[in-house]
């Protein structure tokens, strides 16, 4: 689940658990992708994807009502990066520089536990980009920020997300009938985790 709004404020109170933060100029690369720290240059991307009908249905955040709202959220995201509690990367295609989505790790309350979230612009779906970007950030989590376990979940109907999570090798741990709230209603999610390989 991509937690980028209210949950970030909640997470900030756990900044004390973080041992070090990562410089914002870090770049992660994969065969086809380049991942950089999310910033204000992504406002149009976030606005554009959130105009797609149903795009936000499987995520905790709602479609923003204005670009100003996205600026405010992104500034909070950037501050949370500096605090070492939320590392949100923008995913770019290496060969043409197109910004196509985001993937992030949000610190949970227990030490060493992080939650992964991801989204990709619908124009780029089903080309393996989410899986490739998420793989890079799992490595980042285990190697750079001392994650010992990374968790995630998806709404039961979200088969695309389920496919990504399963392809990555996450282990199913159970159901949560109140995974997140959408339109005032709790959403049933399936939960997974991935432990650091030793
Ligand atoms: C989930 C999401 C990130 C996947 O992005 P993506 O780049 O298309 O993902 P990938 O191409 O790496 O993998 C998608 C897989 O889902 C499969 N898939 C697509 N639609 C499907 C469907 N209706 N039923 C079952 N599988 C489906 C694809 O075939 C692919 O699997 P494959 O590689 O084995 O063929 C993207 O759909 C998205 O941004 N959704 C909206 C936001 C969201 O829900 N985020 C996740 C919240 S938990």
Q: How does pLDDT run across 123-161, given as a tens digit for each residue?
A: 999 999 999 999 999 999 999 999 999 999 999 999 999
Q: Is residue 74 part of a domain?
A: yes
pLDDT at residue 20, as a whole number: 63
Range of the domain at 131: 14-147
Q: Is residue 186 part of a domain?
A: no
Ligand 1, atom 17: nearest CA belongs to which residue? 160
Q: Is residue 180 part of a domain?
A: no
Q: Is residue 67 part of a domain?
A: yes
Helix (H, G, I), strand (E, B) or coil at 68: helix
Q: Is residue 35 part of a domain?
A: yes
Ligand 1, atom 21: nearest CA belongs to which residue? 160
Q: Tell me how far the alpha carbon of residue 101 lies from the centroid of ligand 1, in angstroms.
A: 13
Q: Tell me how far the alpha carbon of residue 82 lies from the centroid of ligand 1, in angstroms.
A: 30
H or E element at residue 101: strand 99-107
Ligand 1, atom 27: nearest CA belongs to which residue? 160
Atom of ligand 1 nearest to the CA of 126: 11
Q: Is residue 181 part of a domain?
A: no
- CA torsion 77-79-80-81 (nearest 10°) is 90
Q: How far apart are CA 101 and CA 38, in angstroms?
A: 10
Q: Tell me how far the alpha carbon of residue 58 lies from the centroid of ligand 1, in angstroms.
A: 12
Mutation test of ligand 1: which of 126, 136, 179 has the most ligand atoms closer than 8 Å to its C-beta? 126
Q: Is residue 108 part of a domain?
A: yes
Residues with CB under 6 A from ligand 1: 1-2, 55, 58-59, 118-120, 125-131, 154, 158-161, 163-164
Ligand 1, atom 3: nearest CA belongs to which residue? 119
Q: Is residue 185 part of a domain?
A: no
- The domain total for the chain is 1
The CATH number that applies at residue 117 is 3.40.630.30
Phi, psi of 119 (to 5 degrees): -150, 155
Mutation test of ligand 1: which of 124, 160, 167, 179 has the most ligand atoms closer than 8 Å to its C-beta? 160
User: Looking at residue 59, what DSSP letter applies?
Assistant: S
Q: Tell me how far the alpha carbon of residue 49 lies from the centroid of ligand 1, in angstroms.
A: 15
pLDDT per residue of the chain (198 residues) written in tens, 0 to 9: 544 443 333 333 344 444 567 999 999 999 999 999 999 999 999 999 999 999 999 999 999 999 999 999 999 999 999 999 999 999 999 999 999 999 999 999 999 999 999 999 999 999 999 999 999 999 999 999 999 999 999 999 999 999 999 999 999 999 999 999 998 999 999 999 999 988
């Amino acid at each position: 689940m991509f937690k980028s709004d209210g949950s970030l404020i909640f997470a900030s109170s756990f900044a004390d658990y973080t041992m070090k933060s990562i410089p914002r100029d870090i770049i992660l690369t994969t065969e086809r992708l380049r991942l950089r720290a999310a910033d204000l240059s992504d406002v149009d991307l976030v606005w554009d994807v959130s105009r797609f009908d149903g795009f936000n249905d499987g995520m905790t955040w709602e479609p923003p009502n204005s670009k100003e709202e996205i600026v405010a959220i992104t500034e909070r995201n950037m501050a949370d990066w500096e605090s070492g509690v939320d590392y949100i990367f923008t995913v770019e295609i290496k060969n043409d520089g197109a910004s196509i989505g985001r993937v992030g790790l949000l610190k949970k309350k227990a030490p060493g536990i992080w939650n992964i979230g991801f989204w990709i612009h619908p124009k780029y779906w089903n080309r393996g980009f989410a899986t490739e970007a998420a793989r890079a950030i799992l490595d980042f989590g285990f190697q750079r920020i001392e994650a010992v376990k990374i968790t995630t979940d998806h709404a039961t109907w979200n088969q695309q997300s389920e496919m990504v999570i399963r392809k990555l090798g996450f282990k199913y741990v159970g159901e949560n009938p109140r995974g997140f709230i959408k339109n005032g209603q709790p959403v049933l999610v399936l939960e997974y985790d991935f432990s650091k390989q030793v």
